[in-house]
A and B are shown apart, each in its own frame.
Chain A
Amino acid sequence: MQRSNKPIFWSLFGAGGMLSALIGPMLILITGILVPTGTILGRDTMSYERTLALARSGFGKLAIFLVISLFLFHGCHRAYHCLHDFGVHVGPGIKAAFHGFAAAGSLAAAILLLLV
């Protein structure tokens, strides 16, 4: 019986799931609701200078990369399974497309963080 390479994607899925379960809601609350509306946190919390400083720090680069990459890998892996659950025949091409998308997004994030 052929060994599946699911463990690779499942581990990424698991890491992304744990990370998004721990801080996903709060991140969305901060970046998408509180800061843009200036509620509790000022609108300049995510100002250009502040965000740039974060993205230029070693810690910031790692944090931003992990959030974007792991959220993408988690989401894409699960979304791929959704298609299967809807009865769509998902061959290796579709599997590559979904996980490739997450990989591409991760690569883009990495490059941007190196350029910033």
Chain B
Amino acid sequence: MRTYRRPVSGLWWTRNPFYLWYMLRELSSVLLVIYALTLLVGLARLVQGVVRYEDWLESLSRPGAVAFHVFTFIVVLYHAWTWFKVMPKTLPRLPLSNGAIVLSGVVAALAASLALFGAVYLAGLWSLL
């Protein structure tokens, strides 16, 4: 039986919107790695002392850096959204509807984010000890 095997193109993900959104979700990982490296660099500068650290802080306020972080923010937000959207499949069976599971995740993220912001804001209000 001479069957015909159709070749699979490396661009398979461009042929269907579902696949495209999947690929964008996957590519968000690259930006997450770059952001983690940014923090790692900041940590290194911290160890190197006040002058190097302040230089690093200064570079963060340059328009290019801020633009990068705005882009990364949007992309990582998309990652977060897809993460919770898919949770009904990745979590064990719960006495909650799929919609309720997704909502719980989003609410948890909002709560955690608010707590983080609150902690940073309050820490900023205290004078240096």
In this assembly, does B103 line the interface, its C-beta being within 8 Å of a C-beta of chain A? no
Give the chain B neighbours of A74 by CB distance below 8 A. 29, 32
Q: Is the CB of A68 within 8 A of B66?
A: no
B:14-39 near A, CB below 8 Å: 23, 26-30, 32-33, 35-39
In-complex Cβ contact of B33 among A75, A86, A115 (8 A): A75
Q: Footprint of B on A, CB under 8 Å?
A: 14, 17-18, 20-33, 35-37, 40-53, 55, 64, 67-68, 71-72, 74-79, 81-82, 85-88, 105, 108-109, 112-113, 115-116
- Complex-state Cα separation, A35 to B116, whole angstroms: 14
In-complex Cβ contact of B124 among A22, A45, A49, A108 (8 A): A45
Q: Is the CB of A112 within 8 A of B43?
A: yes
In this assembly, does B65 line the interface, its C-beta being within 8 Å of a C-beta of chain A? yes
- Complex-state Cα separation, A115 to B23, whole angstroms: 39
Q: Is the CB of A68 within 8 A of B61?
A: no
- Complex-state Cα separation, A27 to B120, whole angstroms: 10
Q: A25-B73, A68-B40 are in contact. Are A50 and B57 (CB under 8 A)?
A: no
- Complex-state Cα separation, A1 to B30, whole angstroms: 33
Minimum distance in angstroms from A97 CB to a CB of chain B:
13
Q: Is the CB of A41 within 8 A of B124?
A: yes
In-complex Cβ contact of B44 among A41, A51, A82, A112 (8 A): A112
- Complex-state Cα separation, A109 to B116, whole angstroms: 21
